[in-house]
Amino acid sequence: MRVLVPVKRVVDYNVKIRIKSDQSGVDIAGLKMSMNPFDEIATEEAIRLKERGIASEIVAVSMGDAKCQETLRTALAMGADRAILVETTVELQPLAVAKLLQAIVERERPSLVLMGKQAIDDDSNQTAQMLAGLLGWPQATFASKIEIGDGTATVAREVDEGIETIRVRLPAVISVDLRLNEPRYASLPNIMKAKKKPLDTLTPEALGVDPTPRLQYVRVEEPPKRKAGVKLASVQELVAKLKTEAGVI
């Protein structure tokens, strides 16, 4: 079966972002960019399915400007077979991404879409659920364990109360959580090989999707800052402060 893995290019999780002085957005110029960590986990899971003989082909998809090719090359170096870039300079929001993915799913006919549960830049946690809705497919979000059976997937989900297990019919969209697996690093030979793997470029127009943003970011500002407090010398001092100064115990 074919597995589709959407991957997003985001500011590396170790990098501290800056807010533009005119509050128009986040200044990401010149910052180190990486594949969204949750998407790395999704890519890894797809590769493991292929290694176990369950998946036959892995197609990685990214969207945005031409630099997203780097993210796709990372997926190819990890083990994806081919890649598709939907190239656009329009700011892509989750609903637009879901519609573009829907169009790609209709062309590629995968049995499974494996994707990160959330991107660490806009923290929306929407795209997988939206894609499943648009396709009329089942969804299994926040997966921490995936077993593919005969036309179904049994998925353990990380929920607030603990772990929930559901079974979904295939084709389905599965969004992955942190503890599903530990993604591999691409080896140097595989990075070289990835350069020769096919990478097709499409546009929103070619896919018949209007990607215009629905939400307007009116202002982006620094969050209220906490001031560093005081370092205390003893447990007794701490208990006294919590009682009298803070009044919380």
Partner 1 sequence: MSVLVLAQHDNRALDKATLHTVAAAGRLPGPVHVLVAGHDCAAVAEAAAALEGVEKVLLVEHPAYEHPLAEDLAALLVSIASGYDHLLAPSTTFGKNVMPRVAALLDVAQVSDVVEILGPDTFKRYIYAGNALATVKSGDVRRVLTVRTTAFPAAAPRDGRAEIAIVAAVEPTGLSTFLGREVAKRERPELTSARIVVSGGRGLGSGENFKLIEELADVLGAAVGASRAAVDAGFVPNDYQVGQTGKIVAPELYIAVGISGAIQHLAGMKDSKIIVAINKDEEAPIFQVADYGLVGDLFKIVPELTAELRRARG
Q: CB nearer to partner 1: give 24 or 187.
A: 24
Q: CB nearer to partner 1: give 69 or 127.
A: 127
Question: Min. distance of Cβ 205 from partner 1 in angstroms?
Answer: 19
Question: Min. distance of Cβ 143 from partner 1 in angstroms?
Answer: 12
Question: Tokens 């353990």 sit at which residue?
Answer: 156
Q: CB nearer to partner 1: give 133 or 198.
A: 133
* 109 Rama sector, left if φ>0, alpha if ψ -120 to 50, beta otherwise: left
Whether the link from the prior residue into 171 is cis, omega within 30° of 0, is yes
Q: CB nearer to partner 1: give 67 or 169.
A: 169
Distance from chain centroid for Cα 123: 9
Question: Min. distance of Cβ 215 from partner 1 in angstroms?
Answer: 5
Q: Are 38 and 7 in contact (CB under 8 A)?
A: no
Question: Min. distance of Cβ 91 from partner 1 in angstroms?
Answer: 12
Question: Min. distance of Cβ 69 from partner 1 in angstroms?
Answer: 24
Q: CB nearer to partner 1: give 32 or 179.
A: 179
The set of residues, in sequence order, having a beta carbon less than 8 Å from that of 40 and lying 6+ positions away, is 7, 78, 116, 183
The two beta strands, 199-202 and 82-87, are: parallel
* Cα dihedral 119→123→129→134 (10° resolution): -80
